[in-house]
Amino acid sequence: MFAFPEQFSNATKANLESQFALFSALTSKTFEGVEKLVDLNINTVKAALEDSSATTRQLLAVKDAQEFFTVSASQAQPAAEKALAYSRQVASIAADTGAEFSKAAESQFAEVNRKVISLVDEVTKNAPAGSETYVSALKTAISNANAGYEQFTKTTKQAVEAIESNMNAAVSQFTQATRKAGAAANSAAAA
């Protein structure tokens, strides 16, 4: 006797439990990422206020225009470096959170896949004679879906790596341009 309703009911229950576990894991990782960003932003704002206050005191203490430009120019490079450091930290938090998302999703997908294959195997044991073609088609469809998911995951990882590489290159170019501008400003202020 077939136990299809019971098997599908158990499979549905297991699928819902897996989806809930995935949702819980992703929600947790999202909150962790947001918490890190909030902490970073609070610390950045505090540091910016302290720097701004110190710069204002220095500018109020200048005695002539030359000294004003010297003080102003001396602030350009440290400000740019702090902005660069902030950008790197935000990118790091985003990358870490994305990696955690991927890890959680892959783990849940593997578990769901294992359960689906187990269900298909169980159903095929109880399948009536002559249904081998349909069972084979179902197994092929599942295999193709798994291959598609694996290719999608591989492509996504490559895209993320390319974005990170491009971002690092842009940051490096920005850093070099900032240093050159800071050096030019310092030499102009010294002249």
Per-residue model confidence as pLDDT tens digits over 144-185: 877 777 777 778 777 777 777 777 777 777 777 766 766 665
Which pLDDT band, with edges at 50, 70 and 90, does 138 fall under? confident
Which pLDDT band, with edges at 50, 70 and 90, does 1 fall under? very low
C-alpha closest to that of 71 among 51, 44, 49: 51
Is residue 14 within 8 A of residue 116, CB to CB? The reply is: no
Which H, E and C letters describe 149-180, residue by residue? HHHHHHHHHHHHHHHHHHHHHHHHHHHHHHHH
Judged on CB neighbours under 10 Å (0-12, 13-18, 19+), 82 is: middle
- Summarize pLDDT for 103-131 with one digit per residue, the tens: 877 777 777 777 777 777 777 777 777 77
Record the pTM: 0.61
Question: What CA–CA distance (Å, rounded) separates 57 from 68?
Answer: 12
